Chains A and B, each alone.
Chain A
Amino acid sequence: MRKFLTPKGMIGVVMVSLIALIGILAPLLLDPAMATKMHMTARLQAPSAAHWLGTDQLGRDLLTRVLMGARTSLEIAVAAVLISVVLGLPLGMISGYAGGRVDNVLMRLVDTLLAFPALLLALTISAVLGPNIQNTTIAIGVAFTPYLARIIRGEALRVAQMPYVEAARAAGTTNAAMLVRHILPNILPVVIVQATISLAFAILAEAGLSFLGLGTQPPNASWGLMIQASRDYLEKAPWTGLVPGAAVALTVLGLNMFGDVLRDVLDPRAK
Protein backbone atom coordinates (compact mmCIF):
# COMPACT_ATOMS: atom_id res chain seq x y z
CA MET A 1 0.00 0.00 0.00
CA ARG A 2 2.92 2.29 0.80
CA LYS A 3 3.71 2.52 -2.91
CA PHE A 4 0.38 4.18 -3.59
CA LEU A 5 1.47 7.00 -1.30
CA THR A 6 4.25 8.17 -3.62
CA PRO A 7 3.45 11.41 -5.51
CA LYS A 8 3.08 9.48 -8.75
CA GLY A 9 0.79 6.92 -7.16
CA MET A 10 -1.38 9.58 -5.53
CA ILE A 11 -1.68 11.62 -8.73
CA GLY A 12 -2.56 8.49 -10.68
CA VAL A 13 -5.23 7.38 -8.20
CA VAL A 14 -6.76 10.86 -7.98
CA MET A 15 -6.81 11.33 -11.77
CA VAL A 16 -8.33 7.93 -12.48
CA SER A 17 -10.99 8.34 -9.77
CA LEU A 18 -11.87 11.82 -11.00
CA ILE A 19 -12.23 10.70 -14.60
CA ALA A 20 -14.27 7.66 -13.59
CA LEU A 21 -16.53 9.93 -11.52
CA ILE A 22 -16.95 12.29 -14.47
CA GLY A 23 -17.77 9.37 -16.73
CA ILE A 24 -20.40 8.08 -14.31
CA LEU A 25 -21.89 11.38 -13.18
CA ALA A 26 -21.74 13.55 -16.31
CA PRO A 27 -24.84 12.08 -17.99
CA LEU A 28 -26.75 12.32 -14.69
CA LEU A 29 -25.82 15.91 -13.84
CA LEU A 30 -25.67 17.40 -17.31
CA ASP A 31 -28.45 17.44 -19.83
CA PRO A 32 -27.24 15.04 -22.57
CA ALA A 33 -29.15 17.08 -25.14
CA MET A 34 -26.83 19.99 -24.37
CA ALA A 35 -23.94 18.08 -25.92
CA THR A 36 -25.62 17.84 -29.30
CA LYS A 37 -27.65 21.06 -29.25
CA MET A 38 -26.42 23.51 -31.88
CA HIS A 39 -26.37 27.29 -31.60
CA MET A 40 -25.44 28.68 -34.96
CA THR A 41 -25.15 32.19 -33.50
CA ALA A 42 -22.57 31.06 -30.94
CA ARG A 43 -20.09 29.29 -33.22
CA LEU A 44 -16.40 28.98 -32.31
CA GLN A 45 -16.64 31.22 -29.26
CA ALA A 46 -13.60 31.57 -27.05
CA PRO A 47 -13.83 30.38 -23.45
CA SER A 48 -16.09 32.75 -21.46
CA ALA A 49 -18.34 32.81 -18.41
CA ALA A 50 -21.22 31.37 -20.45
CA HIS A 51 -19.07 28.66 -22.08
CA TRP A 52 -16.12 27.86 -19.81
CA LEU A 53 -14.18 26.03 -22.50
CA GLY A 54 -15.70 27.83 -25.49
CA THR A 55 -17.90 26.43 -28.25
CA ASP A 56 -17.22 24.31 -31.34
CA GLN A 57 -17.95 24.88 -35.05
CA LEU A 58 -21.66 24.22 -34.51
CA GLY A 59 -21.95 26.37 -31.39
CA ARG A 60 -22.08 23.39 -29.02
CA ASP A 61 -20.70 23.87 -25.52
CA LEU A 62 -17.26 22.25 -25.40
CA LEU A 63 -17.24 21.61 -21.66
CA THR A 64 -20.47 19.59 -21.92
CA ARG A 65 -19.17 17.75 -24.96
CA VAL A 66 -15.84 16.88 -23.45
CA LEU A 67 -17.47 15.64 -20.22
CA MET A 68 -20.01 13.58 -22.16
CA GLY A 69 -17.16 12.35 -24.34
CA ALA A 70 -15.57 10.93 -21.20
CA ARG A 71 -18.57 8.65 -20.86
CA THR A 72 -18.29 7.45 -24.48
CA SER A 73 -14.53 6.90 -24.31
CA LEU A 74 -14.60 5.13 -20.95
CA GLU A 75 -17.57 2.96 -21.87
CA ILE A 76 -15.89 1.77 -25.05
CA ALA A 77 -12.49 1.33 -23.40
CA VAL A 78 -13.79 -0.62 -20.39
CA ALA A 79 -16.02 -2.87 -22.49
CA ALA A 80 -13.25 -3.46 -25.05
CA VAL A 81 -10.75 -4.43 -22.36
CA LEU A 82 -13.36 -6.74 -20.81
CA ILE A 83 -13.82 -8.43 -24.19
CA SER A 84 -10.06 -8.90 -24.55
CA VAL A 85 -9.85 -10.35 -21.02
CA VAL A 86 -12.77 -12.71 -21.62
CA LEU A 87 -11.15 -13.93 -24.85
CA GLY A 88 -7.49 -13.71 -23.87
CA LEU A 89 -7.64 -15.12 -20.34
CA PRO A 90 -8.78 -18.66 -21.20
CA LEU A 91 -6.63 -18.66 -24.34
CA GLY A 92 -3.46 -17.66 -22.49
CA MET A 93 -4.19 -19.70 -19.39
CA ILE A 94 -4.88 -22.95 -21.22
CA SER A 95 -1.92 -22.42 -23.52
CA GLY A 96 0.52 -21.78 -20.68
CA TYR A 97 -0.86 -24.50 -18.44
CA ALA A 98 -1.26 -27.23 -21.05
CA GLY A 99 2.07 -26.58 -22.77
CA GLY A 100 3.22 -28.94 -25.52
CA ARG A 101 1.22 -29.19 -28.71
CA VAL A 102 -1.77 -27.18 -27.48
CA ASP A 103 0.55 -24.34 -26.52
CA ASN A 104 2.33 -24.53 -29.88
CA VAL A 105 -0.85 -24.35 -31.92
CA LEU A 106 -2.51 -21.61 -29.84
CA MET A 107 0.60 -19.45 -29.69
CA ARG A 108 1.24 -19.83 -33.41
CA LEU A 109 -2.24 -18.41 -33.94
CA VAL A 110 -1.63 -15.60 -31.44
CA ASP A 111 1.73 -14.73 -33.01
CA THR A 112 0.08 -14.57 -36.41
CA LEU A 113 -2.53 -12.16 -35.07
CA LEU A 114 0.27 -10.10 -33.51
CA ALA A 115 1.70 -9.53 -36.99
CA PHE A 116 -1.31 -7.33 -37.74
CA PRO A 117 -0.81 -3.92 -36.11
CA ALA A 118 -3.54 -3.57 -33.45
CA LEU A 119 -4.89 -0.36 -34.94
CA LEU A 120 -5.02 -1.88 -38.44
CA LEU A 121 -6.87 -4.92 -37.08
CA ALA A 122 -9.31 -2.72 -35.16
CA LEU A 123 -9.89 -0.47 -38.19
CA THR A 124 -10.49 -3.45 -40.47
CA ILE A 125 -12.92 -5.13 -38.08
CA SER A 126 -14.76 -1.85 -37.56
CA ALA A 127 -14.97 -1.31 -41.33
CA VAL A 128 -16.17 -4.88 -41.84
CA LEU A 129 -18.85 -4.71 -39.14
CA GLY A 130 -19.84 -1.12 -39.91
CA PRO A 131 -18.70 1.70 -37.62
CA ASN A 132 -20.78 2.40 -34.52
CA ILE A 133 -20.16 2.38 -30.77
CA GLN A 134 -20.86 -1.33 -30.32
CA ASN A 135 -18.71 -2.47 -33.24
CA THR A 136 -15.87 -0.13 -32.30
CA THR A 137 -15.84 -1.79 -28.89
CA ILE A 138 -15.75 -5.27 -30.42
CA ALA A 139 -13.03 -4.22 -32.87
CA ILE A 140 -10.74 -2.83 -30.16
CA GLY A 141 -11.42 -5.77 -27.84
CA VAL A 142 -10.58 -8.37 -30.48
CA ALA A 143 -7.52 -6.43 -31.66
CA PHE A 144 -6.11 -6.34 -28.11
CA THR A 145 -6.77 -10.02 -27.36
CA PRO A 146 -3.53 -11.51 -28.76
CA TYR A 147 -1.39 -9.11 -26.67
CA LEU A 148 -3.19 -10.05 -23.49
CA ALA A 149 -3.16 -13.77 -24.34
CA ARG A 150 0.60 -13.65 -24.88
CA ILE A 151 1.28 -12.06 -21.51
CA ILE A 152 -1.17 -14.29 -19.62
CA ARG A 153 0.32 -17.36 -21.27
CA GLY A 154 3.81 -16.46 -20.02
CA GLU A 155 2.49 -15.90 -16.53
CA ALA A 156 0.47 -19.15 -16.53
CA LEU A 157 3.57 -21.00 -17.71
CA ARG A 158 5.52 -19.58 -14.76
CA VAL A 159 2.82 -20.44 -12.22
CA ALA A 160 2.27 -23.93 -13.67
CA GLN A 161 5.84 -24.81 -12.71
CA MET A 162 5.42 -23.81 -9.07
CA PRO A 163 5.77 -26.53 -6.42
CA TYR A 164 2.25 -25.94 -5.11
CA VAL A 165 0.80 -26.72 -8.51
CA GLU A 166 2.77 -29.94 -8.56
CA ALA A 167 1.56 -30.73 -5.06
CA ALA A 168 -2.05 -30.08 -6.07
CA ARG A 169 -1.61 -32.33 -9.08
CA ALA A 170 -0.18 -35.09 -6.87
CA ALA A 171 -3.23 -34.68 -4.66
CA GLY A 172 -5.40 -35.51 -7.68
CA THR A 173 -6.76 -32.07 -8.58
CA THR A 174 -8.47 -32.09 -11.99
CA ASN A 175 -7.27 -29.77 -14.74
CA ALA A 176 -10.36 -27.56 -14.54
CA ALA A 177 -10.09 -27.20 -10.77
CA MET A 178 -6.37 -26.52 -11.11
CA LEU A 179 -6.96 -23.69 -13.60
CA VAL A 180 -9.67 -22.06 -11.52
CA ARG A 181 -8.30 -22.60 -8.01
CA HIS A 182 -4.55 -22.45 -8.42
CA ILE A 183 -3.56 -20.84 -11.71
CA LEU A 184 -6.18 -18.10 -11.99
CA PRO A 185 -5.74 -16.53 -8.52
CA ASN A 186 -1.99 -16.43 -8.99
CA ILE A 187 -1.98 -14.79 -12.40
CA LEU A 188 -4.74 -12.34 -11.50
CA PRO A 189 -2.37 -9.55 -10.36
CA VAL A 190 -0.66 -9.52 -13.75
CA VAL A 191 -4.05 -9.58 -15.51
CA ILE A 192 -5.22 -6.57 -13.49
CA VAL A 193 -2.06 -4.57 -14.21
CA GLN A 194 -2.22 -5.45 -17.90
CA ALA A 195 -5.91 -4.58 -18.11
CA THR A 196 -5.24 -1.15 -16.61
CA ILE A 197 -2.49 -0.45 -19.12
CA SER A 198 -4.73 -1.79 -21.92
CA LEU A 199 -7.42 0.71 -20.85
CA ALA A 200 -5.02 3.54 -21.68
CA PHE A 201 -4.33 2.01 -25.10
CA ALA A 202 -8.04 1.42 -25.69
CA ILE A 203 -8.78 5.10 -25.06
CA LEU A 204 -6.09 6.02 -27.60
CA ALA A 205 -7.42 3.45 -30.07
CA GLU A 206 -11.00 4.70 -29.76
CA ALA A 207 -9.79 8.25 -30.33
CA GLY A 208 -7.82 7.09 -33.38
CA LEU A 209 -10.71 5.13 -34.87
CA SER A 210 -13.19 7.95 -34.31
CA PHE A 211 -10.68 10.43 -35.70
CA LEU A 212 -10.63 8.41 -38.93
CA GLY A 213 -14.43 8.18 -39.02
CA LEU A 214 -14.42 4.42 -38.39
CA GLY A 215 -15.31 4.63 -34.70
CA THR A 216 -17.97 6.54 -32.78
CA GLN A 217 -20.27 8.36 -35.20
CA PRO A 218 -21.59 11.94 -34.97
CA PRO A 219 -23.53 13.50 -33.32
CA ASN A 220 -22.27 11.45 -30.34
CA ALA A 221 -19.60 13.23 -28.32
CA SER A 222 -16.28 11.42 -28.62
CA TRP A 223 -12.85 12.92 -28.06
CA GLY A 224 -11.45 11.53 -31.31
CA LEU A 225 -14.41 12.92 -33.26
CA MET A 226 -13.99 16.32 -31.60
CA ILE A 227 -10.31 16.46 -32.55
CA GLN A 228 -11.23 15.45 -36.09
CA ALA A 229 -13.87 18.19 -36.31
CA SER A 230 -11.45 20.82 -34.98
CA ARG A 231 -8.95 20.32 -37.82
CA ASP A 232 -10.38 23.02 -40.06
CA TYR A 233 -10.83 25.58 -37.30
CA LEU A 234 -7.60 25.18 -35.37
CA GLU A 235 -6.12 28.49 -36.42
CA LYS A 236 -9.25 30.47 -35.61
CA ALA A 237 -10.27 28.47 -32.55
CA PRO A 238 -7.40 26.36 -31.20
CA TRP A 239 -9.41 25.43 -28.08
CA THR A 240 -11.72 23.22 -30.17
CA GLY A 241 -8.81 20.80 -30.65
CA LEU A 242 -6.84 21.46 -27.49
CA VAL A 243 -9.74 20.68 -25.12
CA PRO A 244 -10.46 17.12 -26.34
CA GLY A 245 -6.69 16.55 -26.88
CA ALA A 246 -6.03 17.47 -23.27
CA ALA A 247 -8.91 15.23 -22.14
CA VAL A 248 -7.38 12.21 -23.90
CA ALA A 249 -3.91 13.06 -22.60
CA LEU A 250 -5.01 13.49 -18.97
CA THR A 251 -7.04 10.27 -18.99
CA VAL A 252 -4.28 8.19 -20.57
CA LEU A 253 -1.66 9.84 -18.35
CA GLY A 254 -3.70 9.05 -15.23
CA LEU A 255 -4.21 5.43 -16.33
CA ASN A 256 -0.52 5.02 -17.17
CA MET A 257 0.58 6.41 -13.80
CA PHE A 258 -1.99 4.28 -12.01
CA GLY A 259 -0.89 1.23 -14.03
CA ASP A 260 2.80 1.84 -13.25
CA VAL A 261 2.14 2.00 -9.51
CA LEU A 262 -0.24 -0.95 -9.66
CA ARG A 263 2.51 -2.95 -11.30
CA ASP A 264 4.96 -2.03 -8.54
CA VAL A 265 2.45 -3.17 -5.94
CA LEU A 266 0.99 -6.28 -7.61
CA ASP A 267 3.39 -7.68 -10.16
CA PRO A 268 5.76 -10.20 -8.57
CA ARG A 269 8.24 -9.73 -11.42
CA ALA A 270 8.65 -6.00 -10.77
CA LYS A 271 11.36 -5.17 -8.29
Chain B
Amino acid sequence: MTYVLNRLLSLILTLFLISLITFAVTNILPGDVAMMIMGTQSNPAALAGLRESLGLNDPLLVQYWHWISGMLTGDWGTSLIFKKPIAELLGQKMMASALIVVMSMAFALAAAVPLGVWAAVHRDKWQDTASSTTSLLGVSLPDFFWGIVLILVFARWLGWLPSSGYKDPSEDFLGALRHALLPAFALGLGLMAHLTRMTRSTMTGILGQEFIRVARAKGLSEATVVWRYGLANAVGPVITVAGLQIGYLFGSIIVMESLFNFTGMGWLTYQALLNRDVPLIQATIFVIAAVVMIVNLIVDLLYLVIDPRIRLG
Protein backbone atom coordinates (compact mmCIF):
# COMPACT_ATOMS: atom_id res chain seq x y z
CA MET B 1 0.00 0.00 0.00
CA THR B 2 2.81 2.41 0.88
CA TYR B 3 4.36 1.53 -2.47
CA VAL B 4 1.16 2.46 -4.31
CA LEU B 5 0.88 5.72 -2.36
CA ASN B 6 4.51 6.57 -3.08
CA ARG B 7 3.97 5.95 -6.74
CA LEU B 8 0.88 8.16 -6.78
CA LEU B 9 2.76 10.99 -5.05
CA SER B 10 5.62 10.69 -7.48
CA LEU B 11 3.11 10.71 -10.36
CA ILE B 12 1.74 14.04 -9.15
CA LEU B 13 5.26 15.49 -8.91
CA THR B 14 6.09 14.23 -12.42
CA LEU B 15 2.87 15.68 -13.83
CA PHE B 16 3.84 19.03 -12.34
CA LEU B 17 7.28 18.81 -13.99
CA ILE B 18 5.63 17.78 -17.26
CA SER B 19 3.44 20.88 -17.11
CA LEU B 20 6.48 23.09 -16.48
CA ILE B 21 8.42 21.62 -19.42
CA THR B 22 5.40 21.83 -21.72
CA PHE B 23 4.81 25.45 -20.82
CA ALA B 24 8.48 26.38 -21.14
CA VAL B 25 8.94 24.73 -24.56
CA THR B 26 5.80 26.21 -26.08
CA ASN B 27 6.66 29.68 -24.81
CA ILE B 28 9.80 29.78 -26.92
CA LEU B 29 7.60 29.61 -30.02
CA PRO B 30 8.09 32.70 -32.14
CA GLY B 31 4.99 34.77 -32.94
CA ASP B 32 2.29 35.18 -30.37
CA VAL B 33 -1.27 34.12 -29.77
CA ALA B 34 -2.70 37.60 -30.30
CA MET B 35 -1.10 37.76 -33.74
CA MET B 36 -2.46 34.28 -34.51
CA ILE B 37 -5.99 35.38 -33.65
CA MET B 38 -6.02 38.74 -35.43
CA GLY B 39 -3.66 38.05 -38.32
CA THR B 40 -0.39 39.79 -39.21
CA GLN B 41 -2.09 42.75 -40.92
CA SER B 42 -4.06 43.81 -37.85
CA ASN B 43 -4.10 47.21 -36.20
CA PRO B 44 -1.21 47.49 -33.66
CA ALA B 45 -3.40 49.17 -31.05
CA ALA B 46 -6.02 46.42 -31.25
CA LEU B 47 -3.25 43.83 -31.11
CA ALA B 48 -1.81 45.40 -27.96
CA GLY B 49 -5.29 45.48 -26.43
CA LEU B 50 -5.85 41.81 -27.15
CA ARG B 51 -2.41 40.97 -25.76
CA GLU B 52 -3.31 42.77 -22.57
CA SER B 53 -6.68 41.05 -22.23
CA LEU B 54 -5.17 37.62 -22.94
CA GLY B 55 -2.60 38.25 -20.21
CA LEU B 56 0.33 37.93 -22.63
CA ASN B 57 2.08 40.89 -20.99
CA ASP B 58 2.05 39.25 -17.56
CA PRO B 59 5.26 37.71 -16.19
CA LEU B 60 5.78 34.10 -17.34
CA LEU B 61 5.13 32.73 -13.88
CA VAL B 62 1.75 34.43 -13.74
CA GLN B 63 0.95 33.14 -17.23
CA TYR B 64 1.93 29.63 -16.12
CA TRP B 65 -0.31 29.94 -13.09
CA HIS B 66 -3.28 30.99 -15.28
CA TRP B 67 -2.65 28.08 -17.62
CA ILE B 68 -2.14 25.37 -15.04
CA SER B 69 -5.05 26.48 -12.83
CA GLY B 70 -7.22 26.45 -15.95
CA MET B 71 -6.04 22.94 -16.81
CA LEU B 72 -6.80 21.76 -13.28
CA THR B 73 -10.29 23.25 -13.20
CA GLY B 74 -11.26 21.98 -16.64
CA ASP B 75 -10.97 25.32 -18.42
CA TRP B 76 -8.50 24.36 -21.13
CA GLY B 77 -9.09 27.40 -23.32
CA THR B 78 -10.14 27.57 -26.96
CA SER B 79 -8.29 26.25 -29.97
CA LEU B 80 -7.22 29.02 -32.34
CA ILE B 81 -7.58 26.94 -35.51
CA PHE B 82 -10.68 24.91 -34.66
CA LYS B 83 -12.42 27.70 -32.67
CA LYS B 84 -13.71 25.09 -30.23
CA PRO B 85 -13.15 24.46 -26.52
CA ILE B 86 -9.95 22.41 -26.24
CA ALA B 87 -11.27 20.08 -23.53
CA GLU B 88 -14.15 18.98 -25.76
CA LEU B 89 -11.85 18.59 -28.77
CA LEU B 90 -9.33 16.48 -26.84
CA GLY B 91 -12.05 14.27 -25.40
CA GLN B 92 -13.29 13.28 -28.86
CA LYS B 93 -9.83 12.83 -30.37
CA MET B 94 -8.56 10.83 -27.42
CA MET B 95 -11.36 8.30 -27.89
CA ALA B 96 -10.50 7.97 -31.59
CA SER B 97 -6.84 7.37 -30.84
CA ALA B 98 -7.63 4.96 -28.03
CA LEU B 99 -9.36 2.81 -30.64
CA ILE B 100 -6.28 2.38 -32.84
CA VAL B 101 -3.82 2.24 -29.93
CA VAL B 102 -5.77 -0.58 -28.26
CA MET B 103 -6.29 -2.39 -31.56
CA SER B 104 -2.62 -2.19 -32.53
CA MET B 105 -1.50 -3.32 -29.08
CA ALA B 106 -3.92 -6.26 -29.16
CA PHE B 107 -2.77 -7.22 -32.61
CA ALA B 108 0.91 -6.90 -31.70
CA LEU B 109 0.58 -9.01 -28.54
CA ALA B 110 -1.56 -11.65 -30.23
CA ALA B 111 1.09 -12.17 -32.89
CA ALA B 112 4.27 -11.47 -30.93
CA VAL B 113 3.76 -13.80 -27.97
CA PRO B 114 3.23 -17.04 -29.96
CA LEU B 115 5.94 -16.04 -32.45
CA GLY B 116 8.44 -15.24 -29.69
CA VAL B 117 7.67 -18.43 -27.77
CA TRP B 118 7.93 -20.47 -30.98
CA ALA B 119 11.36 -18.95 -31.69
CA ALA B 120 12.56 -19.58 -28.13
CA VAL B 121 11.39 -23.20 -28.14
CA HIS B 122 13.20 -23.83 -31.42
CA ARG B 123 16.23 -21.80 -30.42
CA ASP B 124 18.96 -21.61 -33.07
CA LYS B 125 16.90 -23.66 -35.54
CA TRP B 126 15.31 -22.35 -38.74
CA GLN B 127 12.15 -21.31 -36.86
CA ASP B 128 14.24 -19.01 -34.69
CA THR B 129 16.06 -17.55 -37.70
CA ALA B 130 12.77 -17.04 -39.55
CA SER B 131 11.16 -15.32 -36.58
CA SER B 132 14.14 -13.07 -35.81
CA THR B 133 14.63 -12.12 -39.47
CA THR B 134 10.96 -11.15 -39.77
CA SER B 135 11.06 -9.10 -36.60
CA LEU B 136 14.32 -7.41 -37.59
CA LEU B 137 12.65 -6.40 -40.87
CA GLY B 138 9.64 -5.20 -38.89
CA VAL B 139 11.66 -2.86 -36.68
CA SER B 140 13.74 -1.60 -39.60
CA LEU B 141 11.00 -0.26 -41.85
CA PRO B 142 9.46 3.05 -40.82
CA ASP B 143 5.83 2.48 -39.83
CA PHE B 144 4.58 5.12 -42.27
CA PHE B 145 6.12 3.07 -45.05
CA TRP B 146 4.06 0.07 -43.87
CA GLY B 147 1.10 2.43 -43.87
CA ILE B 148 1.65 3.39 -47.50
CA VAL B 149 2.10 -0.24 -48.55
CA LEU B 150 -1.09 -1.23 -46.72
CA ILE B 151 -3.04 1.59 -48.36
CA LEU B 152 -1.75 0.50 -51.73
CA VAL B 153 -2.60 -3.18 -51.25
CA PHE B 154 -5.81 -3.17 -49.21
CA ALA B 155 -7.38 0.13 -50.28
CA ARG B 156 -6.26 0.75 -53.85
CA TRP B 157 -5.63 -2.68 -55.36
CA LEU B 158 -8.00 -4.94 -53.43
CA GLY B 159 -10.44 -2.21 -52.44
CA TRP B 160 -11.35 -3.99 -49.19
CA LEU B 161 -10.79 -1.15 -46.74
CA PRO B 162 -11.02 2.66 -46.82
CA SER B 163 -7.66 4.39 -47.22
CA SER B 164 -8.44 7.37 -45.03
CA GLY B 165 -10.90 9.01 -42.67
CA TYR B 166 -12.45 8.33 -39.29
CA LYS B 167 -15.91 7.20 -38.19
CA ASP B 168 -17.36 7.55 -34.70
CA PRO B 169 -17.89 4.04 -33.21
CA SER B 170 -21.09 5.13 -31.44
CA GLU B 171 -22.63 6.08 -34.79
CA ASP B 172 -21.28 3.39 -37.08
CA PHE B 173 -19.41 0.69 -35.21
CA LEU B 174 -18.50 -1.46 -38.21
CA GLY B 175 -17.49 1.57 -40.24
CA ALA B 176 -15.30 2.77 -37.36
CA LEU B 177 -13.55 -0.59 -37.21
CA ARG B 178 -13.01 -0.62 -40.97
CA HIS B 179 -11.45 2.85 -40.85
CA ALA B 180 -9.27 1.97 -37.88
CA LEU B 181 -8.04 -1.37 -39.20
CA LEU B 182 -5.29 -0.22 -41.57
CA PRO B 183 -3.71 2.44 -39.31
CA ALA B 184 -3.88 0.05 -36.35
CA PHE B 185 -2.30 -2.74 -38.37
CA ALA B 186 0.49 -0.48 -39.65
CA LEU B 187 1.18 0.73 -36.09
CA GLY B 188 1.07 -2.82 -34.76
CA LEU B 189 3.63 -4.23 -37.19
CA GLY B 190 6.61 -2.37 -35.76
CA LEU B 191 5.39 -2.98 -32.24
CA MET B 192 4.90 -6.68 -32.95
CA ALA B 193 8.48 -6.98 -34.19
CA HIS B 194 9.78 -5.37 -31.03
CA LEU B 195 7.65 -7.49 -28.71
CA THR B 196 8.57 -10.69 -30.56
CA ARG B 197 12.25 -10.03 -29.92
CA MET B 198 11.49 -9.28 -26.29
CA THR B 199 9.33 -12.41 -25.79
CA ARG B 200 11.96 -14.56 -27.43
CA SER B 201 14.80 -13.36 -25.23
CA THR B 202 12.73 -13.58 -22.02
CA MET B 203 11.48 -17.07 -22.88
CA THR B 204 14.98 -18.27 -23.84
CA GLY B 205 16.18 -17.23 -20.39
CA ILE B 206 13.28 -18.92 -18.63
CA LEU B 207 13.43 -22.16 -20.59
CA GLY B 208 17.06 -22.62 -19.53
CA GLN B 209 16.19 -22.56 -15.84
CA GLU B 210 16.19 -25.33 -13.30
CA PHE B 211 12.43 -25.50 -12.63
CA ILE B 212 11.77 -26.10 -16.33
CA ARG B 213 14.14 -29.09 -16.24
CA VAL B 214 12.32 -30.36 -13.18
CA ALA B 215 8.95 -29.95 -14.91
CA ARG B 216 10.24 -31.88 -17.93
CA ALA B 217 11.77 -34.57 -15.65
CA LYS B 218 8.38 -34.98 -13.98
CA GLY B 219 7.12 -36.09 -17.39
CA LEU B 220 4.83 -33.11 -18.03
CA SER B 221 3.91 -32.59 -21.67
CA GLU B 222 6.03 -30.12 -23.60
CA ALA B 223 2.98 -27.90 -24.11
CA THR B 224 2.36 -27.68 -20.36
CA VAL B 225 6.02 -26.96 -19.70
CA VAL B 226 6.22 -24.18 -22.27
CA TRP B 227 2.86 -22.49 -21.88
CA ARG B 228 1.98 -23.05 -18.21
CA TYR B 229 5.45 -23.00 -16.66
CA GLY B 230 7.45 -20.97 -19.13
CA LEU B 231 5.03 -18.35 -20.39
CA ALA B 232 3.52 -17.75 -16.94
CA ASN B 233 6.92 -16.40 -15.93
CA ALA B 234 7.39 -14.37 -19.10
CA VAL B 235 4.05 -12.54 -18.91
CA GLY B 236 5.28 -9.91 -16.41
CA PRO B 237 8.31 -8.68 -18.37
CA VAL B 238 6.43 -8.82 -21.67
CA ILE B 239 3.54 -6.75 -20.29
CA THR B 240 5.97 -4.24 -18.80
CA VAL B 241 7.70 -3.78 -22.14
CA ALA B 242 4.34 -3.58 -23.91
CA GLY B 243 3.26 -0.88 -21.45
CA LEU B 244 6.44 1.10 -22.04
CA GLN B 245 5.64 1.03 -25.75
CA ILE B 246 2.57 3.21 -25.16
CA GLY B 247 4.92 6.18 -25.32
CA TYR B 248 6.30 4.96 -28.64
CA LEU B 249 2.75 4.44 -29.94
CA PHE B 250 1.71 7.97 -29.02
CA GLY B 251 4.69 9.25 -31.01
CA SER B 252 3.88 7.02 -33.97
CA ILE B 253 0.21 7.97 -34.13
CA ILE B 254 1.22 11.50 -35.08
CA VAL B 255 2.64 10.20 -38.35
CA MET B 256 0.13 7.40 -38.84
CA GLU B 257 -3.02 9.44 -38.20
CA SER B 258 -1.78 12.17 -40.51
CA LEU B 259 -1.10 9.59 -43.21
CA PHE B 260 -4.55 7.99 -42.88
CA ASN B 261 -6.32 11.28 -42.20
CA PHE B 262 -7.60 9.58 -39.06
CA THR B 263 -8.71 12.50 -36.92
CA GLY B 264 -7.42 11.45 -33.50
CA MET B 265 -4.96 12.83 -30.97
CA GLY B 266 -1.94 12.42 -33.26
CA TRP B 267 -3.62 14.21 -36.14
CA LEU B 268 -4.73 16.97 -33.76
CA THR B 269 -1.20 17.39 -32.37
CA TYR B 270 0.19 17.62 -35.88
CA GLN B 271 -2.38 20.26 -36.90
CA ALA B 272 -1.62 22.22 -33.74
CA LEU B 273 2.14 22.12 -34.40
CA LEU B 274 1.80 23.00 -38.10
CA ASN B 275 -0.48 25.96 -37.38
CA ARG B 276 1.29 27.08 -34.19
CA ASP B 277 -1.94 26.89 -32.23
CA VAL B 278 -0.16 27.45 -28.90
CA PRO B 279 -3.01 26.69 -26.46
CA LEU B 280 -3.79 23.49 -28.38
CA ILE B 281 -0.10 22.47 -28.55
CA GLN B 282 0.24 22.92 -24.80
CA ALA B 283 -2.87 20.90 -24.04
CA THR B 284 -2.13 18.02 -26.45
CA ILE B 285 1.50 17.62 -25.36
CA PHE B 286 0.55 17.77 -21.70
CA VAL B 287 -2.27 15.27 -22.10
CA ILE B 288 -0.17 12.81 -24.13
CA ALA B 289 2.68 12.88 -21.59
CA ALA B 290 0.19 12.51 -18.73
CA VAL B 291 -1.50 9.54 -20.41
CA VAL B 292 1.88 7.88 -20.97
CA MET B 293 2.80 8.34 -17.29
CA ILE B 294 -0.55 7.05 -16.06
CA VAL B 295 -0.47 3.99 -18.33
CA ASN B 296 3.05 3.21 -17.10
CA LEU B 297 1.86 3.45 -13.52
CA ILE B 298 -1.08 1.13 -14.23
CA VAL B 299 1.27 -1.38 -15.86
CA ASP B 300 3.59 -1.30 -12.84
CA LEU B 301 0.66 -1.89 -10.51
CA LEU B 302 -0.63 -4.64 -12.78
CA TYR B 303 2.78 -6.27 -12.47
CA LEU B 304 2.21 -6.50 -8.71
CA VAL B 305 -1.06 -8.30 -9.29
CA ILE B 306 0.37 -10.69 -11.88
CA ASP B 307 3.63 -11.56 -10.15
CA PRO B 308 3.25 -12.12 -6.39
CA ARG B 309 7.04 -12.38 -5.99
CA ILE B 310 7.57 -8.66 -6.35
CA ARG B 311 4.95 -7.19 -4.07
CA LEU B 312 7.18 -4.59 -2.59
CA GLY B 313 6.57 -3.32 0.93
Contacts and interface: CB of A to CB of B under 8 A. Distances in A.
30 contacts: A108-B14, A108-B17, A115-B293, A116-B18, A116-B247, A117-B252, A117-B292, A119-B251, A119-B252, A120-B285, A123-B254, A123-B273, A124-B273, A124-B285, A127-B276, A128-B25, A200-B140, A207-B142, A208-B255, A214-B273, A224-B142, A234-B148, A234-B152, A241-B148, A248-B145, A249-B141, A252-B140, A252-B141, A252-B142, A253-B140
A112 B152 contact: no
A113 B140 CA distance: 25
B48 interface: no
B285 A112 contact: no
* Interface residues of chain B: helix, strand, loop or mixed (majority): helix
Contacts of A109: 17
A183 interface: no
Given A120-B254, A123-B269, A211-B255, 13 more contacts: A112-B18, A116-B292, A119-B255, A212-B255, A214-B274, A227-B145, A230-B148, A245-B141, A245-B149, A248-B140, A249-B137, A253-B137, A256-B139
A117 B289 CA distance: 7
Given A117-B288, A256-B136, A124 B25 contact: yes
* Interface residues of chain A: helix, strand, loop or mixed (majority): helix
Interface string A102-133: 00000011011111111110011101101000
A238 interface: yes
A109 B18 CA distance: 9
Contacts of A119: 251-252, 254-255
A262 interface: no
A62 interface: no
Interface string B142-156: 101100110110001
A159 B289 CA distance: 32
A129 B235 CA distance: 42
A257 B152 CA distance: 29
Interface residues of B, number: 46
Contacts of B195: none
A116 B273 contact: no
- Closest 10 CB pairs between A and B? A117-B251, A119-B251, A253-B140, A252-B140, A112-B17, A115-B289, A245-B145, A127-B273, A249-B141, A117-B250
B29 interface: yes
A257 B21 CA distance: 36
A248 B251 contact: no
B270 interface: yes
Which of B26, B148, B276, B293 has the most CB atoms of chain A within a 10 A radius of its CB? B148
Which of A116, A238, A253 has the most CB atoms of chain B within a 10 A radius of its CB? A116
A207 B148 CA distance: 14
Which of A123, A130, A214 has the most CB atoms of chain B within a 10 A radius of its CB? A123
A158 B233 CA distance: 26
A19 interface: no
A128 B247 contact: no
B281 interface: yes
B144 A120 contact: no
Nearest to A127: B273
